[in-house]
């Protein structure tokens, strides 16, 4: 007679077989049998968070920085509903998460039992798939399938809801061998040689080409970023990246035009608008990128490389869709270029030289410039100094959501993938701190900094306690302007300066707060002391809350105002002074 | 045009709305219908009719036929999203005016009146394969199979025969000829 295992044991056996090292969770009535087994599985370490949303974001940070799926364990009812924000966040940003939730015993489902909720019903629209396990015999199969769904194709979150009685019941467990199917394997490739030939043909003919790359490159693995660099160099084309794609191409490279979109650079957005060939690699034509759809890049042929067929033609009609894993598509393109035109970059130089001249003209605008100050710390300056003082250290950056996030994206230059974790699709304030916890768990010896705003960080501040518990030396770098900065900016520019409820009249003393949590608090008030304070933060090997008091009125520029195409950007205050904003733009300022 | 205060773009041109019939083969399991229907409701689209039943008891597969109205872009998007669902095996769609496809709906009419009127009613159904399922001296139940608009018409016209209650299915669809979806 084979050995029988309880449902709770099977959960851990599955996690073991999936090589899970860390789970982020919070115990409660309906998952206690699973928590009971934790001590018997030494290879799996549990990180106790302070709120289930924190568990979800920490698992996201873990997943995005390591390329492995993040695992979350929560209880029924409020445990599951608290995790919903993180699941939705992971769904929007294509982060592989496996969330295991407890549920009330099977016979009580649907009776409004204590801490009961319709977890699979609530999470249906924010997961790739979810399961309610009603038979112990299905449990093993379901959990392994959950990992498969979360990590293949376009990655995303899944949820397995396990009633408490199922956790107690016993059945056999047959050891699971991970089929060595490569992540995002061939089953997701629907392109053929003809598509590649057509693309190369377009590339040869193009006089104004641009690569527009996104998070899909990073999700395709580090190799994809290497191949992308190879491709960009072997073509000589300019490249721009979405918020999520930062890091897949070196931020300080000459061919890199910076981020595009609502707060992207002048050169990137104008190049997108005027190009004749747009090659989208692993991005999804998000509305923050396209601006007004009807006037989005009107003169270009558009190529879209994406693993998800439903991304094609969703927002923007494209001329050549290539459905497949970014890594394999790029590798195929490179092979073909090397075969047919080994010296493409040089022979094509002439073809696109005018284009580069035009791009250089746009670059002259220096759209990320700002007016610095001797007396107050400009937030952009703070990010720049942070970058300069950390750039040799293989730093991992997370952010919250708002102005600070955009300044971080604009002024912090990444040169490797998986170093930049930010909530782009859902725009979840409070993402960065728990994400930093997860990143630090995955990379215990690396420098992890959450570039934060004071409003966002207060939403999940309790996770500082988690960082202290596990000695995770994360650095919370708060650009403190006492406002919900992006809200304030929109109110200033679009709502006649009616600053309705965007000022936080009572804030905690972040230095004392840090001490209360048992970590280190540092405050910088003037530009003169900023460098010393940052160095002090970097030299502290404990968690730090850095309260950087910045200019309260600063706005994030450049900006594409509402309903405008890419070539009608508002530039910064310097530009305003020179009266370069024409009638239309001014109406909006 | 008033100046926009939104940080979102303004709506572009909307595609023409058409009636589409979407056929989906799914695993017959709990919650699968909610997953399918959720893709419509999540986009604010109403489903005109829905018919679902198991068609293969061995493989446990149900066939769902959905009639809905939407712009071609949204219908394409819903189809692609449907294909991504784990329990979905196959998706097909066509427009209502497609000549290669047969659509049928079934309706049950209950008449409560006198025998003369009821006879007239059954006669009026003649074109639509009427089956008299139940009959008393002051009531009858008639089953018809027809197109949606034909049933719509009957529902209005039969008031005069004492039509008191209607129960109808959603449309089911099948291709003509030897082609199989």
Separation of CA B12 from chain center:
30
Q: What is the mean pLDDT of residues A352-371?
A: 95
Q: What is the pTM of this model?
A: 0.94
What span, in angstroms and rounded, lies between the C-alpha atoms of A310 and A297? 21
Would the pLDDT of A253 be above 80?
A: yes
The C-alpha angle A153, A137, B56, rounded to 5 degrees, equals 70
Contact with chain A for residue B85, Cβ under 8 A: yes
Question: Residue A457: pLDDT band by 50, 70, 90 thresholds?
Answer: very high
pLDDT at position A498: 95
User: CA of A263: which chain B residue's CA is closest?
Assistant: B7
More reliable by pLDDT, A578 or B149: B149
Q: Is 70 exceeded by the pLDDT of residue A582?
A: no
Q: Annotated catalytic, A429?
A: no
Give the C-alpha separation, A66 to A442, whole Å. 6
Chain A partners within 8 Å of B85 (Cβ):
129
The per-residue pLDDT for A494 is 85
Calculate mean pLDDT across residues A523-527: 97
Give tens-digit pLDDT for A534-543: 999 999 999 9
10 Å Cβ neighbour count for A408? 30
* Cβ–Cβ < 8 Å for A436, A399: no
Q: Do B86 and A129 touch (CB under 8 A)?
A: yes
Residue A406 sits at the chain B interface (C-beta within 8 Å): no
pLDDT confidence of residue A580:
44
Question: DSSP assignment of A322-333, as one string?
Answer: EES-HHHHHHHH
Q: Please name the member of B5, B12, B30 whose beta carbon is closest to the beta carbon of A294.
A: B12
Q: Using pLDDT thresholds of 50, 70 and 90, give the confidence band for residue B43.
A: confident
Q: Is A19:A399 a contact under the CB 8 Å cutoff?
A: no
Q: Residue A579: its pLDDT value, please?
A: 41
What is the C-alpha radius of gyration for chain A, rounded to an integer number of angstroms?
25
Q: Which of A208, A124, A198, A204 lies closest to A161, judged by CA?
A: A124
Interface test with A, best of B9, B26, B79, B84 (most A CBs within 10 A): B9
Residues from chain B that touch A129, judged by Cβ atoms under 8 A, are: 85-86
Residue B13 touches chain A, beta carbons under 8 Å: yes
Interatomic CA distance for residues B66 and B77, integer angstroms: 15
Q: Is A12 a catalytic residue?
A: no
- The Cα–Cα gap between A252 and A413 comes to 6
- The per-residue DSSP string of A460-473 comes to SGGGHHHHHHTT--
Say whether pLDDT at B17 is over 80: yes
pLDDT tens readout for residues A93-125: 999 999 999 999 999 999 999 999 999 999 999
CB contact, 8 Å: A298 with chain B?
A: no
User: Would you say residue A533 has pLDDT above 90?
Assistant: yes
Summarised one tens digit per residue, pLDDT across range A309-342 is 999 999 999 999 999 999 999 999 999 999 988 8
B 86-105 residues inside an 8 A Cβ radius of A: 86
Using CA atoms, how far apart are residues A169 and A144, in angstroms rounded to an integer?
19
User: What would the mean pLDDT of B62-78 be, rounded to a whole number?
Assistant: 92
Q: Which residue has the tokens 């990137």?
A: A268
Q: What is the pLDDT of residue B125?
A: 92
B131, pLDDT greater than 90: yes
pLDDT value of position B3: 57
- State yes or no: pLDDT of B1 exceeds 60: no
Model pLDDT for residues A363-413, shown as the tens digit of each residue? 999 999 999 999 999 999 999 999 999 999 999 999 999 999 999 999 999
- Angle A357-A363-A366 from CA coordinates, rounded to 5°: 160
CA A234 – CA A354 distance, rounded (Å): 18
Classify B131 as helix, strand or coil.
strand
Digit-coded pLDDT (tens) for A123-167: 999 999 999 999 999 999 999 999 999 999 999 999 999 999 999
* Pairs of CB atoms within 8 A across A/B: 63
Cβ contact A162:A140 at 8 Å: no
State percent of chain A over pLDDT 70: 95
Is A537 known to be catalytic? no
pLDDT band at A586 (very low <50, low <70, confident <90, very high): very low
CA distance B23 to chain A (A): 18
Asked if the model's pLDDT at residue A181 lies above 60, the reply is no
Structure confidence at residue A291 (pLDDT): 83
pLDDT band (50, 70, 90) for residue A189: confident
pLDDT of res. B4 = 61
A71-80, A185-194, B126-135, range with the lowest pLDDT? A185-194
Collect all residues of chain A within an 8 Å Cβ-Cβ radius of residue B6.
494, 562-563
Query: What is the share, in percent, of chain B residues with pLDDT greater than 90?
Result: 77
Choose the closest CB to B12 out of A129, A293, A494.
Answer: A293
Q: Is the pLDDT of residue A532 over 50?
A: yes
Q: What is the pLDDT of residue B73?
A: 86
B77 closest CB neighbour out of A134, A290, A314: A314
Q: Which of A52, A400, A454, A554 is catalytic?
A: A52
Helices (H) and strands (E) in chain A, counts: 25, 20
Q: How confident is the model at residue A178 (pLDDT cuts 50, 70, 90)?
A: low
In the 8-state DSSP scheme, what is residue A343?
Answer: T
Question: Using a CB-CB distance cutoff of 8 angstroms, which residues of chain A are in contact with residue B80?
Answer: 309-310, 312
Q: Angle at which helices A222-235 and A326-340 pack, to 10 degrees? A: 30
> What's the mean pLDDT in A218-243?
97
Per-window interface: A 105-164 vs B, CB < 8 A: 120-121, 124-125, 128-129, 132, 134, 149, 153
Q: What is the pLDDT of residues A37-78, one digit of tens each?
A: 999 999 999 999 999 999 999 999 999 999 999 999 999 999
Q: What separation, in Å, do the N-terminal and C-terminal C-alpha atoms of chain A show? A: 77
DSSP secondary structure of B40-83: HHTTTPPEEEEEEEEEETTTTEEEEEEEEEE-HHHHHHHHHHHH
Residue A577 has pLDDT above 70, yes or no: no
Per-residue confidence (pLDDT) for residue B97, from 0 to 100: 87
* Known catalytic membership, residue A52: yes
> How does DSSP classify residue B137?
S
Count of positions (residues) in chain B: 181
Q: Chain B closest CA to A184's CA: distance in Å? A: 14
Which of A123, A125, A152 has the most B C-beta neighbours within 10 Å, making it the best mutation to test the interface with B?
A125
Per-residue pLDDT, averaged over B3-15, amounts to 68
The reported pLDDT for the residue numbered A299 is 94
In A391-534, DSSP assigns E strands to: 396-399, 420-421, 448-453, 475-480, 520-524
B81 near A CB under 8 A? yes
Record: contact A132-B31, CB cut-off 8 A = yes
Q: What is the mean pLDDT of residues A15-27?
A: 97
By the CB < 8 Å criterion, does B16 face chain A?
Answer: no
- Average of per-residue pLDDT values in chain A: 94
Contact B86 A124 (CB under 8 A): no
d(CA A219, CA A155): 8
Enclosing H/E stretch for A37: helix A32-37
């Amino acid at each position: 007679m084979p050995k029988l295992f309880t449902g709770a044991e099977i959960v851990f056996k599955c996690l073991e077989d999936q090589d899970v090292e860390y789970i982020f969770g919070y115990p409660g009535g309906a998952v206690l049998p699973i928590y009971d087994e934790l001590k018997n599985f030494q290879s799996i370490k549990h990180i106790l968070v302070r709120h289930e949303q924190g568990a979800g974001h920490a698992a996201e940070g873990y997943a995005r920085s390591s390329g492995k799926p993040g695992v979350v364990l929560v209880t029924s009812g409020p445990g599951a509903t608290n995790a919903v924000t993180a699941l939705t966040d992971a769904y929007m940003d294509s982060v592989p998460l496996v969330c295991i939730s407890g549920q009330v015993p099977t016979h009580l489902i649907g009776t409004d039992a204590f801490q009961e909720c319709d977890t699979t019903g609530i999470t249906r629209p924010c997961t790739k798939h979810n399961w309610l396990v009603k038979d112990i015999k299905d449990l093993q199969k379901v959990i392994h399938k959950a990992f498969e769904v979360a990590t293949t194709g376009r990655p995303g979150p899944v949820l397995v809801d396990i009633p408490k009685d199922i956790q107690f019941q016993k059945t056999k467990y047959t050891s699971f061998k991970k089929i060595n199917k490569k992540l995002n394997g061939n089953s997701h490739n629907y392109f053929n040689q003809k598509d590649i030939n057509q693309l190369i043909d377009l590339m040869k003919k193009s006089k104004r080409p641009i690569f527009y790359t996104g998070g899909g490159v990073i999700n395709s693995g580090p190799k994809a970023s290497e191949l992308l660099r190879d491709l960009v160099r072997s073509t000589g084309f300019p490249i721009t990246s979405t918020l999520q794609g930062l890091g897949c191409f070196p931020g300080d490279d000459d061919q890199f035009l910076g981020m595009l979109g609502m707060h992207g650079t002048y050169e990137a957005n104008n190049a997108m608008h005027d190009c004749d060939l747009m090659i989208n690699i692993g991005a999804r034509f998000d509305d923050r990128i396209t601006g007004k759809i009807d006037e989005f890049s009107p003169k270009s042929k558009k190529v879209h490389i994406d693993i998800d067929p439903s991304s094609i033609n969703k927002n923007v009609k494209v001329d050549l869709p290539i459905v497949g894993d970014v890594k394999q598509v790029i590798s195929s393109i490179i092979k073909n270029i090397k075969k047919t035109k080994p010296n493409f970059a040089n022979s094509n130089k002439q073809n696109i030289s005018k284009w580069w001249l035009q791009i250089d003209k746009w670059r002259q605008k220096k759209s990320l410039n700002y007016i610095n100050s001797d007396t107050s710390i400009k937030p952009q300056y703070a990010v720049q100094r942070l970058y300069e003082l950390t750039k040799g250290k293989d730093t991992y950056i997370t952010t919250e959501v708002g102005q600070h996030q955009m300044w971080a994206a604009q002024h912090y230059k990444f040169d490797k993938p998986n170093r930049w974790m930010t909530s782009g699709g859902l725009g979840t304030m409070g993402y960065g701190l728990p994400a930093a916890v997860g990143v630090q768990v995955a990379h215990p010896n690396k420098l992890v900094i959450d570039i934060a705003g004071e409003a966002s960080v207060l939403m999940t501040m309790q996770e500082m306690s988690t960082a202290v518990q596990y000695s995770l030396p994360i650095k919370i770098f708060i650009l403190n302007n006492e406002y919900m900065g992006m809200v304030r900016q929109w109110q200033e520019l679009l709502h006649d300066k009616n600053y309705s409820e965007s000022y936080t009249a009572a804030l905690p003393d972040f230095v004392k707060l840090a001490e209360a949590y048992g970590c280190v608090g540092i405050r910088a008030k003037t530009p003169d002391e900023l460098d010393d304070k940052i160095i002090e933060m970097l030299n502290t090997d404990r968690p730090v809350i850095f309260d950087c008091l910045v200019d309260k009125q600063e706005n994030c520029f450049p900006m594409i105002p509402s309903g405008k195409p890419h070539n009608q950007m508002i530039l910064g205050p310097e530009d305003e002074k020179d009266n370069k904003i024409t009638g239309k733009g001014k109406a909006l300022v | 045009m008033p100046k926009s205060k939104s940080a979102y773009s303004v709506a572009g041109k909307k595609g023409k709305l058409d009636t589409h019939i979407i056929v989906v083969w799914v695993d017959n399991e709990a919650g699968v219908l909610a997953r399918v229907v959720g893709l419509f409701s999540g986009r604010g689209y109403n489903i005109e009719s829905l018919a679902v039943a198991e068609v293969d008891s061995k493989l446990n597969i149900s066939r769902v036929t959905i009639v809905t109205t939407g712009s071609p872009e949204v219908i394409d998007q819903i189809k692609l999203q449907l294909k991504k669902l784990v329990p979905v095996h196959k998706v097909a769609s066509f427009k209502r005016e497609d000549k290669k496809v047969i659509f049928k709906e079934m309706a049950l009419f209950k008449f409560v009146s006198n025998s003369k009127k009821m006879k007239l009613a059954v006669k009026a159904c003649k074109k639509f394969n009427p089956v008299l399922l139940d009959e008393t001296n002051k009531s009858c139940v008639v089953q018809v199979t027809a197109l949606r608009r034909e049933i719509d018409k009957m529902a209005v016209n039969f008031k005069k025969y004492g039509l008191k209650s209607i129960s109808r299915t959603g449309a089911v669809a099948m291709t003509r000829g030897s082609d199989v979806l």
